[in-house]
Amino acid sequence: MITNFNKIISLGLLITTLAFGFEKVGTTSFQFLKVGMSARSTGMGEAYSAAVFGADAVFWNPGALTTVRRFDVEASYMDYFFDVKHTSLAIGWNAGTWGVLGFQALLTDVGEIEETTVSQLGFNENDVYMPGLTGNTFSPGAMVLGVSWARSLTEQFSFGITAKFVREDLWLESASAVVFDGGLIYNTGFRTVQISAAVRHFGQNVAFIDKDFPLPQTFNIGISGFLMGPSANLGTISETHSVQVAFDMVQPRDYDQQYNVGLEYGFSNLLFLRGGYKMNYDEEGIALGMGMNYKGYRFDYSYNDYGDLLSGVHRFSVGLSLQ
C-alpha cells in the first residue's frame, strides 16, 4: 500500500513539474490543438478532465482510458469558423494486464485560399483597384496521429501517457513535432467524486521559418461527481435519473487561468442533456449539448456560443462501445 501511494505521489509531482516547468509566453504554435473536438466534452463546457470516459480520453486525459472495458471508438466532426473543418477519430482497446491502448487521429482542413501578392496590389493603369490575386490557390491544413497507454495502479488510481506526431502546413512552410500528454485520475472513494490532473501538448519548441515557437501546453485540474444516480452519489439515489457535475481549472501557456463548469443530466442512461460555461475566455462562454446511448451506440451534439463577433459552433460525434 505504501509502495502504491509513493507511486501516486511521484506521478503527481511529475505532472505538476511538467505543467509549471515553462514560463508563460504570448504566442504559441499549433493553435488547432487547443480546439475541443468531441460533442460530449464541449457540451459540458470542457469541464472534462475528471468526467471523460471511453476512447475520448486520448484527447483530454489519457489516465481515463482505463474506463474502456473492452473496446471503444468515437468519431467527431466540427465545422469551425471561416469554413475550417475538423475531423477526429479516437479508439480505445483494453489489453487486460497490459493496460489500455489508445489511438487518435485529427485532421484540420482550412480549404482553398486565394494567393495574393503585394506586387499586384493597388490600382492599375485604368484606375481599377486590383486586390493582388495571382490566380493561384493553396490549401493549409494540419494533422495529428497519436498513441496512448493507460494503466490502473490501484482500484482507485490510474495514469496514462500519449505520444503524438503533429504536422501543420502553412502555404510554402510546414512544421512538425512529437508532442506528449500525461494524465492522472483518482476515485476518492467518497461517493462518486473523482479528481484529475492532466498536462497536454508539451514538448520542444516548433520552428517556423527562422523562429521557434513553444507548444500550446495546458494544465488541467478537475473534479467531478454525481448529484443524482443509481450509485452512492452526493445527493439523491435514483435508478432512472442521473446528474453529473464537473469543474476544471485550466492553466494555458499563453493566457491567464481559465475555469470550466459543466453538467450532464441523464434519463435511463439513454437520453442526455448537457450544459456548461467557460470563464475568462475572449469569446467562448455558454455551451449546450445533448446525446443518445442505445446498446453501446452513441450520438452526441453540442453547440458553443462565441459571442457577437463570431458565429456559434456545432459539433457531432458518433461512437460505439463494446463491453
DSSP states along 41-104? HHHTTT--TTT--GGGHHHH-GGGGGG-SSEEEEEEEEE-GGG-EEEEEEEEEE-GGG-EEEEE
What's residue 255's pLDDT?
86
User: Which of 73, 72, 137 is CA-nearest to residue 110?
Assistant: 137
Domain ranges in the chain? 2-322
Q: Cα–Cα distance between 44 and 273 in angstroms, integer?
A: 9
Q: What is the mean pLDDT of residues 89-113?
A: 93
Look up the CATH number of domain 2-322.
Answer: 2.40.160.60
Q: Cα–Cα distance between 86 and 304 in angstroms, integer?
A: 15
Which three cell numbers mark 247? 469543474
What's residue 257's pLDDT?
94
Q: 3-state class of 235 per DSSP?
A: coil
Which three cell numbers mark 187? 476515485
Question: How many CA atoms are closer than 13 Å to the CA of 62, on its beta-carbon side?
Answer: 26
What's residue 8's pLDDT?
46
Q: Does 312 or 291 have the greater pLDDT score?
A: 291
| Mean pLDDT for all residues in the chain | 87
CA distances from 255 to 27, 69, 74, 198 (A): 9, 37, 30, 17
Query: Global pTM?
Result: 0.86
Which three cell numbers mark 121? 496590389
Q: 3-state class of 8 per DSSP?
A: helix
Please, where are the H alpha helices in the chain? 2-20, 39-43, 57-60
Under the banding of pLDDT at 50, 70 and 90, the label for residue 315 is very high
Q: What is the mean pLDDT of residues 11-25?
A: 49
What's residue 127's pLDDT?
67
Which three cell numbers mark 252? 494555458
Rg of the chain on CA atoms, in Å: 21
What's residue 1's pLDDT?
43
Query: Are the C-beta atoms of 310 and 292 separated by less than 8 Å?
Result: no
Asked if residue 91 has pLDDT above 50, the reply is yes
